[in-house]
Amino acid sequence: MIVYGSGGRLFGATRKQFCLASIERLPMIRLRHLLIAAIFGTVVSSFGRDITAKSAIAIDAASGKVLWTRDADASMFPASTTKIMTGLLLVEHCLPTDVITAPADIEKVKEASMHLKPGERVTAHDMLYALMLRSANDGSYAVAVHISGSVEAFAKLMNQRAKELGCTHTHFCNPNGLNNREHTTTAHDLALIARAAMRYQPFRDAVKTVKYEISRSINLHDRVMVNHDKLLKKDPLAEGIKTGYTVPAGHCFVGSSTRNGFRVIAVVLKSQHWQKDNEDLMAWSFHHFERKEKLNAGEIVGAVRVPGSGPKPVSVALAEAAYTLGPVGENSPRATEEIELLPKVQAPVKKGQRIGDLVLRDADGWTQKVPVVAHEDVEPAMLAQTVKKASTGSTLFIGSLVFVGSCLVRGRMKRKLKYYARPTKGKGA
C-alpha cells in the first residue's frame, strides 16, 4: 500500500506547485542537466584513469547511493575484506561479554596470525578487534564455530545476511577470505556489507582503532593488535574498515571517511596502489557531492490509515534521520516522498511501532527507504466503534439523568412557589 506523505508534499512543495514549476522551467532544466552531465562525464572520465583498481566503487553511506563506479558488479576475490561480514555477524549475534572458546582444531587454520591455542578464551569484544585490526584468520574460524557450530553453517549465515542486505553477486565459503575459487563477491556488494556494519558503534570503534591490547586466557605475551590500515595515521578523517590481500585477489581495501556528517564508503579491489586509490575516491566524492536536505528523526512526515483500524489516519514519524544528496553548488530538484506500509501491518499498533518506510526518490531516480513509526496508538476498528458507542451511550444516559433531574427540581420549585404565594388568612379577614 502506497500513499503520499504530508499531503503529497515534495520536501515542502505540493505536487501541483512542483509540476507547474517543472513545466515552466522545463527547457532550462533540460539544458542545465545536459551541461552538468557533460561536465561530470568529462570529469569522471578523466578521474577514472587515475584509479588503478580493477573494480571500485564509492557510495553514500546514509542512502547507499552510488557516487562513482568501475566494474563494481564484476565477480572478484575479496581476500580478508570478507571479515567485514564476519565482524558484522559477530556484533549482531554476540554480546560484548560473551566468551569465545577456540575449537580443538584451531591450530589447523592456515595463515593464522592470532596464534590461538585449543580451548583459549577471548571475549567477543576483544575478538572483534583481533579480526578487524590483525585480520586474524584463526579468530574468524573461532567466531564461525561459536556462532554456527561449523564453517559450513556459518557460510550459509553469511550468504543469507548478504542477500538481506541486497547483495546479488556474493558467495562466501569461509569466514576469513582464504582463497577459494567459489568464494567471490563484488565491490558493490562489499560496499553494502560495510554500510550495514558501520551502523554499529562497536564496529565503528574497532575499525578506526590503530592499536588495541586484548585479554586472552593462554597466549598472554601476544595481546597487542595493530591495524593494517596505514591511512588511519595519515588522514585524521579516515575511519578505517578493512584491508585484504592474497595473490589471486591482489590488494583490496574497504574504507570509510566522514566530513561534515557526510560519510563515504569506498571499495577498491585488485588495486596496484590501494591507499592512493582510496584517497582519490574520497577526495573526488567530497569535492563533487554534498548533503542537500535533511529530515530529522522523530519528524512527522505524513499520515496513513492502518488496515483494520477506524477511518482516522495515524500520523507517522521518522525512526532515524534522512538526507538527500546532490552535486556541490547545484540546486537539485526536490526529492519526492511516499509512505509505504509494511505488508503485514495491522491494527492494533502501538506508538513508536514501525509500520513502514518513507520512500525518497531524488532527481536521478535513486530511491532510499527510511523506517517510519506510528506517532500514536492505533486501535482496531471494532474496539474503536465499541468505545465510541459506549461513549455515546454514556453521554445519552447521563443526559437523560440530567434532564429528569432538572424536571424534578423544576417541579419541586414550582410547588414551593405556589405554597409561598398562597394568601395568609388573618383574624380580621
Which residue out of 6, 55, 65, 83 is catalytically annotated? 83
Measure the CA–CA gap between 202 and 200, rounded to whole angstroms: 6
- The Cα-based distances of 189 to 64, 81, 144, 173 in angstroms read 11, 11, 21, 15
3-state secondary structure of 246: strand
> d(Cα 261, Cα 140) in Å, to the nearest integer?
32
| Grid cell of 59 as nine digits | 557510495
* 3-class secondary structure, 41: helix
Residue tagged active-site, from 6, 55, 63, 135:
135
For the question of residue 332 being annotated catalytic, the response is no
CB 5 within 8 A of CB 358: yes
Gap between the Cα atoms of 298 and 352, Å rounded: 10
Provide the grid cell at 410. 423544576
Measured in degrees and rounded to the nearest 5, phi and psi for residue 76 equal -135, 160
The three cell numbers of residue 176 are 576469513
The cell for 103 is 575449537
- Please say if 80 is a catalytic residue: yes
Which is nearest to 324 in space by CA: 356, 295, 282, 355? 295
HSE (CB half, 13 Å, CA atoms) of 83? 31
Task: In whole angstroms, give the CA distance from residue 100 to residue 136.
Answer: 14
- Only one residue has cell 515534495, namely 10
Catalytic, out of 63, 80, 257, 285: 80
The β-bridge relationship of strands 354-361 and 336-341 is antiparallel
Residues 311 and 381: their CA atoms lie apart, in Å, by: 8
Question: Which DSSP symbol is given to 428?
Answer: T
Under DSSP, the state recorded for 304 is E
The rounded distance, in Å, linking the Cα atoms of 274 and 113 is 22
Question: 476498528: which residue's cell?
Answer: 381
Q: Which amino acid is at 364?
A: D
The pairing of strands 99-101 and 55-60 is: unpaired
Residue 425: partners with Cβ closer than 8 Å, 6 or more residues away = none
Smallest CA-to-CA distance from 142 within 68, 184, 86 is with: 86
Burial class (CB in 10 A: 0-12, 13-18, 19+), 295: buried
Q: Is 351 a catalytic site residue? A: no
Active site residues: 80, 83, 135
